[in-house]
């Protein structure tokens, strides 16, 4: 193991991270990352991406900031409530964490964003319709997709690589029923229920999303979660479940 000797010159911001053998810091620096959602997970994900050395980040969210966001969103303050748009505030304040970072905010729906050309997408979304849409488009373009989700003290991270099961493959009838219900009742795909949410579960799920992103961008997808890791903060338990591609899933036609 390397040691730090007296007189060590501290010139590299990422010196400690480079000591992780599989990390490719240059690849991280040059990658083009899409973050869908600038809420609780989006705040933590963008913070982790910037500190890890990602330079090119686009963050998409259609919402403004409300008071109940403030218990788990590090970039939002009381003065932003009902004034600031989530993606713009995250981009502005996360840019202060590292030099030369280029964070592009988009105020709008992820469904309306052209995702072609991104190296990876991180899902920090709180509605199933948007997640399924991003899942389908990333599958179509062969873009790795790291989906994160929380519900109170429970969370999960699903790593979707080309040739691996996607969100739709592992969706059960409850998900489908929920989508149908929301669409029928509201006619608005952006409808979002108020689920329980806390910063500790958010931080853990977001950290896992960014760590899996570092593996993929560093050229080590073999180190990634296969396929979904579930976290239960109440029990301090975490386990990973392998899944299969659903042969009826329409998102894998290009791979066969």
Binding residues for Zn ion (CB under 5 A) = 166, 168-169, 249, 251
Least spacing, CB of residue 58 vs Zn ion, in Å:
25
The residue (of 201 and 251) whose beta carbon lies closer to Zn ion is 251
The residue (of 93 and 158) whose beta carbon lies closer to Zn ion is 158
Cβ-contact 106, 73 below 8 angstroms: no
Q: Estimate the crossing angle of helix 40-52 against helix 86-94, to 10 degrees.
A: 20
Residues 214 and 79: their CA atoms lie apart, in Å, by 34
Residue with tokens 């409850």: 174
Residue closest to Zn ion (Cβ): 249
Least spacing, CB of residue 135 vs Zn ion, in Å:
8
The residue (of 13 and 254) whose beta carbon lies closer to Zn ion is 254
Instruction: Classify strands 32-36 and 56-61 as parallel, antiparallel or unpaired.
Output: parallel
The residue (of 103 and 169) whose beta carbon lies closer to Zn ion is 169
The residue (of 48 and 168) whose beta carbon lies closer to Zn ion is 168
Least spacing, CB of residue 165 vs Zn ion, in Å:
6
Cβ-contact 34, 122 below 8 angstroms: yes
The two structure tokens encoding residue 198: 């806390």
How is residue 229 annotated by DSSP?
A: E
Which secondary structure element, helix H or strand E, spans residue 108, and what is its range? none
Least spacing, CB of residue 176 vs Zn ion, in Å:
14
The two structure tokens encoding residue 45: 């994900």
How is residue 67 annotated by DSSP?
A: G
Least spacing, CB of residue 183 vs Zn ion, in Å:
21
């Amino acid at each position: 193991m390397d040691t730090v000797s007296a007189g060590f010159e501290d010139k590299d911001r990422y010196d400690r991270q480079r000591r992780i053998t599989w990390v490719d810091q240059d690849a991280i620096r040059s990658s083009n990352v899409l973050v869908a959602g600038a809420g609780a997970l989006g705040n933590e994900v963008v913070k982790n991406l910037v500190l890890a050395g990602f330079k090119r980040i686009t963050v998409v969210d259609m919402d403004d900031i409300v008071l109940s966001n403030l218990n788990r969103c590090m970039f939002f303050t009381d003065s932003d409530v009902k004034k600031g748009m989530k993606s713009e505030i995250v981009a502005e304040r996360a840019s202060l964490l590292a030099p030369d970072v280029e964070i592009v905010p988009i105020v709008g729906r992820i469904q309306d964003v052209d995702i072609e050309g991104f190296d990876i997408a991180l899902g920090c979304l709180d509605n199933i319709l948007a997640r399924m849409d991003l899942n389908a488009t990333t599958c179509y373009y062969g873009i790795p997709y790291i989906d994160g989700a929380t519900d109170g003290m429970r969370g999960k991270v699903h790593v979707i690589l080309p040739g691996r099961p996607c969100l739709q493959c592992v969706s059960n009838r409850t998900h489908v029923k929920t989508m149908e219900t929301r669409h029928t009742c509201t006619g608005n795909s952006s409808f979002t229920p108020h689920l329980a949410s806390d910063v500790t579960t958010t931080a853990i799920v977001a950290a896992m999303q960014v760590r899996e992103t570092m593996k993929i961008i560093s050229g080590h997808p073999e180190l990634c979660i296969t396929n979904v890791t579930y976290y239960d903060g109440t029990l301090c338990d975490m386990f990973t479940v392998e899944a299969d591609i659903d042969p009826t899933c329409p998102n894998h036609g290009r791979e066969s």
